[in-house]
Structure 1
Amino acid sequence: MDMSTSRTATPRRLLMCPPRHFDVTYSINPWMEPEKPTDAALALLQWERLRDLFTDLGHTVEVIEPLPGVPDMVFAANGATVVDGKVLGARFRHVERTAEGPAYLRWFVRQGYREVLWPEHINEGEGDYLTVGRRILAGTGFRTDPRSHAEAQEFFGLPVTGLTLVNPRHYHLDTALAVLSDTEIMYYPEAFTPGSRAVLREMFPDAVLASAEDAAVFGLNAFSDGLNVLLPQAARGLHEQLRSRGFRPVGVDLSELLKAGGSVKCCTLELRP
């Protein structure tokens, strides 16, 4: 790619949920260690900084009120998938999170969304569904049922490409792959099966490839508006690669939320019109 390529930021509408009830009281992924303390006040402060960063960059942030006793509701990306104003609800694999799906769906109905689908099969929203231009990359392997990929394709009327995850520390697609623009992604190859790696190489031969070190600090749990890429500040190698391609990396500290296995993208659900 020509290094002088000018990139522009596109304003987005985002849905976020404040971590007022955040805690790690159970373990449903390798990051969650209930015996270790969490700081709810710090989690809220870090979340507020992320929200303010989005608004400072010109994005619109909607807020859904968190439910008590549902500590992972802060991870709004898992609450639904929204493309062309259509809302595919989320259905969670673990009982600890099942209340989140209906809570998010109720929000969309109250906001006047008309095309809303309660799914038949388990899917965990944008945790496993990432939109790249007019195509959807769909993760499976740990959470989302592969049968939901066909359900999403039928509902959205867009091609859905299935990708299988194999590393328990990268249990959702948005922990192993990030969308940078309508044609560009970054990902960690070792998080995928050989076949899925081959598919990604075929579709995105010029993708940014993350190191094990950057993947381990959740560097791929990122949000891009086409110019600014918000990602964990500890992912230094990705910051350098992104800068060399004309993006503007913005480091974020969400260390408290990482104790539950979430970072920038997990906190952010894009409301695509």
Structure 2
Amino acid sequence: MSPAAPDDRDPPHMRTARARHYLMCRPTYFDVVYSINPWMDPAKPVDTPLAIAQWERLREVYLSLGHTVDTIDPVPSLPDMVFAANGATVVDGRALVARFRDAERIAEGPAYHNWLRDNGFPELRTASFVNEGEGDYLLAGDWLLAGTGFRSDPRSHDEAQEYFGRPVIGLTLVDPDYYHLDTALTVLDEKTVAYYPAAFSPGSRSVLERLFPDALLATPADAEVFGLNATSDGYNVVLPQNATELAAQLRERGFNPIGVDLSELLKAGGSVKCCTLELRRDA
């Protein structure tokens, strides 16, 4: 019998989950009473108890996956404080606290600063330029992917690079519906991202194509339901449940998509990642 022909197909993708440490803020005072992005319409009713229930479900998912979830106390006058990702960027145990663009959110920065100071992050500072935390800063391996175009000031990119000592890759957003980087791109593991090409300038698309030639590309339908506003532990990807095509792509690539319903929080332009600040202590 002749030897079998070698199988030249790619082996199955082996993904490894890594326990994460997250900070979240219960949406006790969630409401839409002003408009600072295209998703917010104060004329539409908000069901705060439903928002709380959906948030609680997200927290339960994280805990069931073995992640650590700390919570920061919500402040009555800050309805968007639930979007903890915007509060800071935390890398290698160092925290760069957000400086918000809009007056309605400015007080969130000191609240997150105080929590981080009181909970084991002595190396911290508040950004000098507008910088909306992990809304616009996403760690991908050794790089910090940094969004600009609508919120974070491009000068904040140099500031973050000097503070963290990691290369910062600037990416320009061009569609106001995707006003933060975390609405248009998600980091799946150190070498893999998913993103929505139409949200980026031509030059930034070219950068992403060079850095991540094997990236997953989201469809317009999945982008519109904030499918890219997701979190990943390297294997489990928590994302909005309506992002069905992206979920199928993730399964094909060896990830485990877990859909959740955060439709009430989407009324303020936020979803899974917006509710989740990662606290990275180790280099």
Q: Which residue of 2 aligns with 1:93?
A: 101
5+ residue gaps in structure 1?
none
Q: Which residue of 1 aligns with 2:201?
A: 193
Q: Which residue of 2 aligns with 1:84?
A: 92
Q: Secondary structure at the match of 2:189?
A: coil
> By how many angstroms is 1:4 displaced?
1.3
> By how many angstroms is 1:3 displaced?
5.2
Q: Which residue of 1 aligns with 2:19?
A: 11
Q: Which residue of 1 aligns with 2:142?
A: 134
- Supply the distance in 1 between the matched residues of 2:17 and 2:220 (Cα, whole angstroms): 28
Structure-1-length-normalised TM-score: 0.99
CA contact (8 A) 1:3 1:246 kept: no
Q: Which residue of 1 aligns with 2:176?
A: 168
Matching of residue 207 in structure 1 with residue 218 in structure 2: no
- Supply the distance in 2 between the matched residues of 1:118 and 1:210 (Cα, whole angstroms): 33
Number of corresponding residues: 273
> By how many angstroms is 1:142 displaced?
0.2
Q: Which residue of 2 aligns with 1:181?
A: 189
CA contact (8 A) 1:3 1:245 kept: no
* Cα 1:173/1:3, change in 2 over 3 Å: farther
> By how many angstroms is 1:2 displaced?
3.4
Q: Which residue of 2 aligns with 1:24?
A: 32
Q: Deviations over 1:56-103 (max 9, x none)?
A: 000000000000110000000000000000000100000000010110
Q: Which residue of 1 aligns with 2:265?
A: 257
Residue 230 of structure 2, aligned match among 204, 222, 233:
222
- Supply the distance in 1 between the matched residues of 2:213 and 2:169 (Cα, whole angstroms): 16
Matching of residue 50 in structure 1 with residue 65 in structure 2: no
Q: Deviations over 1:199-238 (max 9, x none)?
A: 0001001100001110000000000000000001101110
Residue 157 of structure 2, aligned match among 133, 138, 149:
149
Q: Secondary structure at the match of 1:231?
A: strand
Counterpart residue type for residue 66 of structure 1: P
Q: Which residue of 2 aligns with 1:115?
A: 123
Comparing 222-231 with 109-118, greater Cα deviation is found at 109-118
Q: Deviations over 1:14-34 (max 9, x none)?
A: 000000000000000000010
Q: Secondary structure at the match of 2:90?
A: strand
Q: Which residue of 2 aligns with 1:125?
A: 133
CA contact (8 A) 1:139 1:163 kept: yes
Structure 1 segments, 4+ long, off by >4 Å, are: none
Pairwise CA RMSD of aligned residues? 0.8
5+ residue gaps in structure 2?
1-8
CA contact (8 A) 1:128 1:172 kept: yes
Q: Secondary structure at the match of 1:229?
A: strand
Q: Deviations over 1:182-211 (max 9, x none)?
A: 110000000000000000001001100001
Q: Deviations over 1:236-268 (max 9, x none)?
A: 110010000000000010010000000000000
Residue 246 of structure 1, aligned match among 238, 254, 260:
254
CA contact (8 A) 1:232 1:251 kept: yes
Q: Secondary structure at the match of 1:150?
A: helix
Matching of residue 267 in structure 1 with residue 272 in structure 2: no
CA contact (8 A) 1:178 1:221 kept: yes
Residue 65 of structure 1, aligned match among 73, 87, 98:
73
Q: Secondary structure at the match of 1:62?
A: strand
Structure-2-length-normalised TM-score: 0.95
Counterpart residue type for residue 168 of structure 2: V
* Cα 1:43/1:3, change in 2 over 3 Å: farther
Counterpart residue type for residue 147 of structure 2: G
